[in-house]
Amino acid sequence: MKKIGLFYATEGGTCEDVSKRLVKLLGEDNVDLIEVVDASISDIENYDSLILASSTSGVGELQPDWDELYDEFDNIDFSNKTVALLGLGDQDSYPDSFAGGVSFFYEKLKDAKLVGQTSTDGYEFDETDSLVDGMFVGLLIDEVNQEELTQKRLEDWVEQIKNDLL
């Protein structure tokens, strides 16, 4: 069984908390949890299976801790990698850019095998760049307004992605 590299960036700790919950659901022996400020391109290259997680900064922007590593994504061959995306956002405060930060990953990962797209059912937002063909590009979490739904959404998502990633 291969290990998943779960790389995350967090501003207030929420993305870190959600990522840790995800690790428990996937099995701690199956996942290396790595904060992006401690990571390099070679760290990402070492994994065939990745989960990239980020809170959204400002109005639909990628969390700034990703900036340096994200700029190097063009130098990584993602064609043999399976990738799932996890984005956090606030539907009420940012209904026109809900969890838009994760869309930046999607743009750079066209060659990867992307898994974990999810339905918009149960969400209340106006617009997001993280929506492609009527589905979210990954799992979007709103811990501000729908924290009571997070655990079930994580559990359902793990059932969806685990066979592709492990």
- pLDDT tens digits for 63-79? 999 999 999 999 999 99
- The answer to whether the Cα torsion of 100, 79, 26, 157 is positive or negative is positive
Question: Could you tell me the two tokens for 7?
Answer: 């790389």
Locate all alpha helices (DSSP H) within the chain, ordered by sequence. 14-26, 41-45, 67-71, 103-108, 147-165
- Cα 34 vs. chain centroid, distance in angstroms? 13
Q: Check residue 122 and give its pLDDT.
A: 95
CB 84 within 8 Å of CB 161: yes
Nearest-angstrom CA–CA distance, 64 and 160: 29
| pLDDT tens, position by position, 104-127 | 999 899 899 999 999 999 999 999
List the one residue out of 118, 106, 112 whose CA is nearest residue 142.
Answer: 118
Residue 1: pLDDT above 70?
no
Q: Are strands 61-62 and 139-141 parallel, antiparallel or unpaired?
A: unpaired
Please give the domain boundaries of the chain with CATH numbers for all domains: 4-165 (3.40.50.360)
> How far from 69 is each of 80, 110, 138, 143, 152, CA to CA, in Å?
19, 17, 20, 25, 31
**Rounded mean pLDDT, 34-58:** 94
